[in-house]
Structure 1
Amino acid sequence: MRAADGVKDLKDLMAAADPAAGVTGDPDRRQADLERILAGPGPRPRPRRGIAPRLWVPLGAVAAVCAAALALTLLPSGTGHAYAATPPPLDYRRPTAAVPAAQTLAEIARRTAALSEPDGGPDSVLEWRDWSLFTRIDGNTVTSRVTAEQHRVLLHPDGTGTQTRRFDGRPEHTEPYESGLYRQPVPADPEALRAMLRASTPAVDSASGLAQALRGLLRVQVLDPAQRAAVLRLVAALPGLSYDGSVTDRAGRPGEAFSAESDGSGLPTRYTFVVDRDSGRILGDEAMLTTRAGALNVPVPSVISYTAYLSARRQ
């Protein structure tokens, strides 16, 4: 694979998460700036002796593989190429008869909306675990590695707070944290929730877009039963949704798995949402490449993304 091809594949894969994708700017100003830069003396290049240019591309929007103590290894493909290790797919206990996914999820949403829970205190505490795939292009070589992150966020009613993060087994680091786009109360009406999420993620009606929007929402909001039911109804409305059956998630909890496919990330990907049947909480979300990997140094199919939502409560 040529490096230029790898860069193009990675740009295509990250296009949906590019905050400046629709910005065109002033072409006359761009031309004037270019001419001014080219007319200047420019910096002196540093000598590079036998070192090929390297590009690290973090794929946080695409990756988060959650498996206890997973370390980077290389797996032979049988053709002399080595792949980065990725976790195996979840072990789904598929139903013996066809089960309508939307109807099953709608029933879980109906029961969830009827739940009664105490309000709790004013502050929100959210914990989740991410496993992330990073890819580096070094000349004609593409290398991928897996890293792990553990997050604990404390948010106050004004949307400010702190985040304690442990990255790749390193010491914990605490830093300021803000709820950002989702400070307003989450609507309990599915269509109002859809409109709210669409403001930040226009492709929210697709599996890739909804997964992206919920990754933002579930990191800053503790949802009550009615709000959780609205989230489940959005998942139930995804085109091509299928019910994969019961499953034990990557944090060891029982759940029900619902999946839909989308190429919104740039590669054909199957997105899975694991739902707690009793509480209606989304326990985790997962993405798996289905037909091709582009510039990513992984086999196909491969799980390239997983987040486990461990706790969401008020105190």
Structure 2
Amino acid sequence: MYNADQWKDYELLDTGDGEKLERWGRFVLRRPDPQVIWPNTGQNDRWTTADGHYHRSSSGGGEWEFRTKMPDRWTVTYGELKFHIRPTSFKHTGLFPEQAVNWSWMMNKIRQAGRPIRVLNLFAYTGGATLAAAAAGAEVCHVDAAKGMVQWAKENAQLSGLESNPIRYIIDDVFKFVQREERRGKQYDAIIMDPPSYGRGPNGEMWKLEENLYPFIESCLSVLSPDPLFMLVNSYTSGISPTVLHNMLHMTMGRKFGGSIHCGEIGLPITATGLTLPCGILGRWEAE
């Protein structure tokens, strides 16, 4: 288990009855989480005083109920990185705090490389990994199909004082972008991907992780430099185990470049119980 336990501006206060109670900076939010299939102990008063509570609708989706007048967005900090947080209509806040364990890892890898590093961040969302790589000194290409998420990433970069760093923002279907980069002869020293279970590109391209992930990882080999530093694959798809990621990385990165592979669950410590909330899995290939 890889635990994101170095946060100061984020805290998973408690969990129970299909929900999690989180502190994001100065605000406390209560949101559904499908992994929380254990009961609420009822010993934390903050469940009833949360500033915002996302209620699921029986017909799908849901809506926020706010007990406190809150700003449209506010800022949280992780080390030298800063992020805008905003409760969205689909329950997310614009940041996956468990990914901090990956940010710290990749920043160390980049800083210790002793050479210029070019990073390709695919399904890049609001740019957590992009900011981490850029802050460590890498040149980054940030690719996501959602225009709004790319704009949010640009704002996070500005907030973190990284707006003048070499970050290239691309709104595109990631599969098509990688194919074009191969034709252009572009190469990267590290690739990060955080693919959804299902998704659509800007022109309606379909993505289904179980069918598309392996061929996509395989296609990414063509845009890696001869001496790559790392590849990081995250997955939130239920039913995909760390061993599945290990096998895919072994059959692609391992066969071509050797190196080492480390896979496992990623999670957040729960303050009230001392337990860990599982938040998906990761697979890391790294050069030896």
Smaller-chain TM-score bracket: under 0.3
Structure 2 length as normaliser, TM-score?
0.28
Higher helix residue share: 2
Q: Comparing both chains, which one has the higher relative contact order based on Cα–Cα distances under 8 Å and sequence gaps of 6 or more?
A: 1
Q: Which has the larger radius of gyration?
A: 1
